[in-house]
Amino acid sequence: MKKIVVLTGAGISAESGIKTFRDADGLWENHRLEEVATPEAWRRNPELVLRFYNERRRQLHTVRPNEGHLALAALEKHHRVHIITQNVDDLHERAGSTSVLHLHGELLKARSERHEHPSYPCTGDLALGDLCPKGTQLRPDIVWFGEAVPMLERAADLCEDADLFLIVGTSLQVYPAANLMKYAPWHIPFYYVDPNPQVNVILAAMPNVRVIAEKASTGIPKFVQEAVKATDF
């Protein structure tokens, strides 16, 4: 069994009906990210931030994994697959993937505004006045822009001995996620599935890159055919 590391972004959930961030107008569901996804936004207008994530969480209960999520879960029959996702949804888990690391947090978890740990399950709305067991205000367990990425080291460790690296549905603009490839062995095959691929400098420096400019639902099966089935990989 080979080790496949997969970096996913908002694009893999697009065909489930969850909007990506940069595709349309630079707004995330009609909001500038400075209004809803930064520590400053939380200090300035916590009600708006809570409402924004409550809406995202409610939407999550109405969508399902798509062919892309399912194809990645099916890969586990033949290989060790580790997904590192920038997404805050739980569609990889619901598709059946068993190793999913959320770099930017999870919609279905909350934490104290004072402490990163622990996190608590959160399936419904959060409101001002909802307190953690230690008595401080709960906030979404999301890594906001400008905050440190606590899972980065674990993600980098996963990349270190990858045999193949697959990137799906990300504009490769949000760092440090967009840098992760540099922790993988440089000579391995890198695949990038995205209808509007934006190869960044890190990926451009790799010697063995194949871009499949398609949506996840068709691009991932094509990747499986090319990289996994058609070779002795």
Please list the active-site residues: 104
Select from 4, 10, 132, 203 the one that contacts ligand NAD (CB under 6 A).
10
Minimum CB distance to ligand NAD smaller for 140 or for 189: 140
159 near ligand NAD, judged by CB under 6 A? no
Q: Which two tokens stand for residue 70?
A: 């399912």
State the angle between helix axes of 216-223 and 67-74 in degrees (0 to 180), rounded to the nearest 10: 20
Minimum CB distance to ligand NAD smaller for 4 or for 193: 193
223 near ligand NAD, judged by CB under 6 A? no
106 near ligand NAD, judged by CB under 6 A? no
Q: Phi-psi region for residue 30, left (φ > 0), alpha (ψ -120 to 50) or beta?
A: left
Select from 6, 18, 71, 166 the one that contacts ligand NAD (CB under 6 A).
18
- With contacts defined by CB under 6 A, name the span among 73-81, 108-116, 159-167, 192-200 that binds ligand NAD: 192-200
Minimum CB distance to ligand NAD smaller for 56 or for 80: 56
22 near ligand NAD, judged by CB under 6 A? yes
Residue with the shortest CB distance to ligand NAD: 11
30 near ligand NAD, judged by CB under 6 A? no
Select from 70, 215, 223, 224 the one that contacts ligand NAD (CB under 6 A).
215
97 near ligand NAD, judged by CB under 6 A? no
Between CA 53 and CA 136 the distance in angstroms is 19
Select from 36, 71, 75, 88 the one that contacts ligand NAD (CB under 6 A).
88
Q: Could you list the residues that contact ligand NAD (CB under 6 A)?
A: 9-15, 18, 20-23, 28, 86-89, 104, 168-171, 173-174, 194-196, 215-216
